[in-house]
Amino acid sequence: MKLRLLLCGLAAVAIAIALIVWPSERYNPANDTQLQEVIANSSRAAELEALMAEIPAEHHKEMAFLLKNMPDFDREEMDLNLLRENVEYAHLAREKYSWAKRLPEDVYLYDVLPYHVVDEVRDSWRKELYEMFAPAVDTCTTMYDAVCAVNANIPRLTGVDYNTKREKTNQSPRESMRQGMASCTGLAILLVDAYRAVGIPARFTGTASWHDNRGNHSWTEVWLDGEWRVTEYYFPSKLDHLWFMADASKANAEDRTYAIYATRFGKADDWFPMVWADGDVEGRSVEELPKWVGAENVTKHYQELAYEQYTRHIEAGTHTFIKIAGYKDAKHKEHSDDRVAMGVDIFHGTEQMGGGLTAGPLRDMNDMFSVLVEKNRNYELRYYDSNGELQRINVELGEEPVIVEIFLKK
C-alpha cells in the first residue's frame, strides 16, 4: 500500500513538472505568421502591434481573426477602439450565455464576432445592443428562446420601424435608431447585430431582385442546432415561414440578379450583390457591383423550403388567396390602362404576411397580385397613395378567396 501511494505521488509530481516544462496551447500572436504578415504590410503597423499588446490575452485570438480577415480598407482606416470594444463584448456574451459557449469555434468567429454586416457605416453598436437586449435574454435557457426574445422585443427596444422614408438603404444600427426607421436592408442589419450582441450566430441574406423585377429584398438567418433558419425583423410565427417564400420559389441560382445569397465574413468563394452600393445607377449590370462582401449562394435551400410550404398549404385546404388590383382611381376600372403597378404589403397584426406589386396596364386584366394566407383571419393591406400618404385597408378573410381594390387617388 505504501509503495502504491509513493508511486501515485511520483506520478502527480511528474504531471505537474510536465505542465510547467511544456507550455499550454493558448493562442500566441507571435507564432501566427499570417497575423504578423498582415500587420507588417499595414501602413499603421505600430498601432496594430500596440493594439495586440494592450488587449487582454484572452482576446488575442478573436482580435487576430478580425485583423486577418477584415477588408484592407477597414484595417487601414477603422477606429481601433471600435474593434477593441467589439471583441470585448463579443467575448463577454460568449462567456455569459450557455448557447454561445457551446458554439463551434468557426461559427462563433464568422457569425458572432464580426463588427460589420455589409457596407454600412462602422459604428460601435455591440455594447449598446448588448446592454439593450441582455435583460430580454438573461432568463432564456436555450438559443431558440433567446432568438424569440430578441425578435419579440426589437421594435420596442430600438424604436425602429419599417419606413421607406429612411435616409438611406444600408443604414447602420445607430443610423436606424437615430431616425426610428429603416427599410428592409437596414432592418436586416439591425437584427443581425442584435442577435450577435447576445451571442446568437446570424447572417444577412437577400436577393438583388425578385423574379418580377420589383426590386431587392433583405432578411436574416440565425444558426440553430447546426442549421441556418430564416427569420425577419417583424417576428414571424414560425422560423423558415416568411411572407416571401412564394417569391423565393421562383429565384434562379444561375442568375446573380435573381439568386439568393447569404453573407460570409472575410474571403469567400462568392460575393454578395449590394444593389444599393454607390447609388442606384440606371442600366448598371449586377456584375459591376462591389464584390468585397463574401457570400454563399443559398438559392436551392430557399427553393426547397418554398416548394414544401406553398404546396402543402394548398393541399391541406388551410389557406386561400387575397387578390389585389391597383387602379388610378375608383371611377376608372374598366380598361387595362386604368390599372397601376402599386406596392402593397399584407399584415396580420405586426407580422408581415406578403408584399409586392399590383399588375400594371400591360398585364392581362385577369392577372392580379395574389398572396396565399391562412383562412378565417383578419388582415391589413398597407400602401401609399399619390400624395405619399399611407393607406390601410382591413380584410376579413373567410374560406374563399377575396379580391381587394386599391386606388392611387381618392
**pLDDT tens readout for residues 292-315:** 999 999 999 999 998 887 777 878
Of residues 210 and 315, more confidently modeled: 210
Q: Which cell numbers hold the place of 254?
A: 444561375
What percent of the chain stands above pLDDT 70? Answer: 92
Q: Which cell numbers hold the place of 370?
A: 395574389
Return the pLDDT at 307.
83
**pLDDT tens readout for residues 366-407:** 778 889 999 999 999 999 999 999 999 999 999 999 999 999
Q: Which domains does the chain have, with CATH numbers?
A: 117-309 (3.10.620), 318-407 (2.60.40.10)
Average pLDDT over residues 67-71: 97
Residue 176 burial (CB < 10 Å; 0-12/13-18/19+)? buried
pLDDT > 70? residue 92: yes
Average pLDDT of every residue of the chain = 90
Q: Which amino acid is at 107?
A: V
**pLDDT tens readout for residues 346-364:** 999 988 988 888 988 877 6
Return the pLDDT at 25.
65
What is the value of pTM for the model shown?
A: 0.79
Return the pLDDT at 15.
41
What percent of the chain stands above pLDDT 90? Answer: 73
Return the pLDDT at 8.
47
Please measure the distance between the N-terminal and C-terminal CA atoms of the chain and give it in whole angstroms.
99
Return the pLDDT at 359.
86
Got the DSSP string for 323-374? EEEEESBTTB-SSGGGB---EEEEEETTEEEEEEE---TTS-TT--EEEEEE
Average pLDDT over residues 159-179: 93
Contact 356, 347 (CB under 8 A): no
Return the pLDDT at 19.
39
CA–CA separation, 193 and 199 (whole Å): 10
**pLDDT tens readout for residues 105-147:** 999 999 999 999 999 999 999 999 999 999 999 999 999 999 9
**pLDDT tens readout for residues 15-27:** 444 333 334 468 9
CA–CA separation, 344 and 358 (whole Å): 7
CA–CA separation, 408 and 410 (whole Å): 7
CA–CA separation, 158 and 407 (whole Å): 33
